[in-house]
Amino acid sequence: MTRTTEVPALFEAFRLYCLVEGKQPTTILWYMGKLKIFLRYLQTEDLPLDAGELTITHLRAFLVHLKENVKADENNPMKPERERGLSPQTIQGYARTLKAFFSWLAREGFVTHSPSRLLKIPKAPKVIIKTLSDTQIRDLVSVIDRKGSKGV
């Protein structure tokens, strides 16, 4: 039996690997969603679908495509598309997914080496979430009705 190196067929094998490794269902869905978008990009750009033919240049071109051409929520059927592009954190997520997938391909012997080994995870600014002040917390707590069981 010959093992295929066609990217679409490898997605299911990667999904099974993730299940056996005990990855969270949400992580697996996240990986598969991002890999499907990568596949759509390969098909649209008429690029190789054989994993052994893909190079670091293909992976980098995909990340640049995401950064320059894809709008936020464009691939999310549950949300309306927004005018702004994808966030740097989202681009990082795609890069991490590609690294995980291609590293797995190399470990399993589907490819001789992973083109993602040279892929650097793009930098993203650290987001500092503004917390509530002591006064705001006191104000919130002060409006709790402590007379009923819900307030207690």
Domain count, the chain: 1
Per residue in 67-120, pLDDT tens?
Answer: 998 887 666 666 666 677 888 999 999 999 999 999 999 999 999 989 899 888
42 domain-assigned: yes
Predicted TM-score of the model (pTM): 0.76
Contacts for 10 with CB less than 8 Å, ≥ 6 apart: 4, 51, 101, 105, 110
- Residue 87 falls within a domain, yes or no? yes
The CATH code of the domain that includes 58 is 1.10.150.130
For residue 138, being part of any structural domain is answered with no
148 is a domain residue: no
Its domain, for residue 45, covers 7-124
Asked if residue 62 is part of any domain, the answer here is yes
Strand partners, 34: none
